[in-house]
Amino acid sequence: MRIALILLPLLLAHCGSAERLSRIGRAPAMAPIADPTRGPDYRPVSMPMPAPQDARNLSANSLWRPGSRTFLRDQRAANTGDLITILVSIKDTADLSNSTERSRDNSENLGIPRLLGLDASYARIFPNSIDPSKLVEASSANASAGIGRIQRNEAVTMRIAATVTQVLPNGNLVVGGRQQVRVNHEMRDLSIAGIIRPQDIGSDNTVQHDRLAEARIAYGGRGTISDVQQPRYGQQVLDAILPF
């Protein structure tokens, strides 16, 4: 058991080092263009749906197309495989502070100077130095104080094209997209997924990120700079298992 605990950090370090050694002198390889629904992490989305309604019978000579907002063809994403541009503009600022202070003093006194006429027998039961009116006396005091503060300022602005991967029964669209940008030996990964309403899609086939339900937005990287910013595997293992 002890040998396994000793070898575990070495094995973890070897796995990460092997991947880094394999790309020495080369930039990180880009992922191939693939169907998002065939990824190992893809899961079809199931959401609460309204009761189904009967389709309206359209006249054969009607010029109105179901789902269109004009008599012309709607160029906005509507079906599986269509593309849509998602505009991400996150400006998150938080400044939270909290201060607590608590104190309490307790004092208890208990005595039995007379009890059913047995006070005459106190001398035989208790030592002479015991005062029956002060059999128990207790006191306690405690105090606590705490101060906490959180300051955060984040800003992310980007445009990313996503693919409609699923059309839900109520007409909402499940979208997902990923982009990779490589500059020198540093790779930047951008990914986004969520559910949008067709009504929120603009005429230029774009939608704001705050209109995505169950939004999942990730912006990260890997490469020479990201490797330096990450703690060593041994340090991560120690941080996870050391109790102090």
Helices assigned H by DSSP within 142-187:
none
Does residue 86 surpass a pLDDT of 90?
Answer: yes
Domain count, the chain: 2
Q: Is the domain of 123 the same as that of 194?
A: no
Range from 68-72, 110-114, 224-228 carrying the lowest mean pLDDT:
68-72
What pLDDT does 60 receive?
A: 60
Q: Are strands 206-208 and 83-110 parallel, antiparallel or unpaired?
A: parallel
Residue 182, classified by CB atoms within 10 Å of its CB into exposed (0-12), middle (13-18) or buried (19+), is: middle
Domain containing residue 141: 96-149
From 127, 149, 171, the end of a domain falls on 149
Give the tens place of pLDDT for each residue, 164-217: 999 998 999 999 988 888 888 788 888 899 999 999 999 899 999 999 998 888
Facing residues of 114 across strands?
none
Q: Is the domain of 14 the same as that of 79?
A: yes
Angle at 213 between CA 71 and CA 67, to 5 degrees: 15
What pLDDT does 56 receive?
A: 58
Q: Is the domain of 102 the same as that of 88?
A: no
Q: Are strands 213-223 and 186-196 parallel, antiparallel or unpaired?
A: antiparallel
Give the tens place of pLDDT for each residue, 31-42: 777 788 888 878
State the first-to-last Cα distance of the chain, in angstroms, to the nearest integer.
Answer: 22
Q: Is the domain of 77 the same as that of 180?
A: yes
Alpha-carbon span 229 to 222, nearest angstrom: 10
CB 68, CB 79: distance < 8 Å: no
Q: Is the domain of 85 the same as that of 100?
A: no
Give the tens place of pLDDT for each residue, 3-31: 655 555 555 555 556 766 676 666 677 77
Task: Report the candidate in 187, 209, 168, 234 with the shortest Cα–Cα distance to residue 17.
Answer: 234
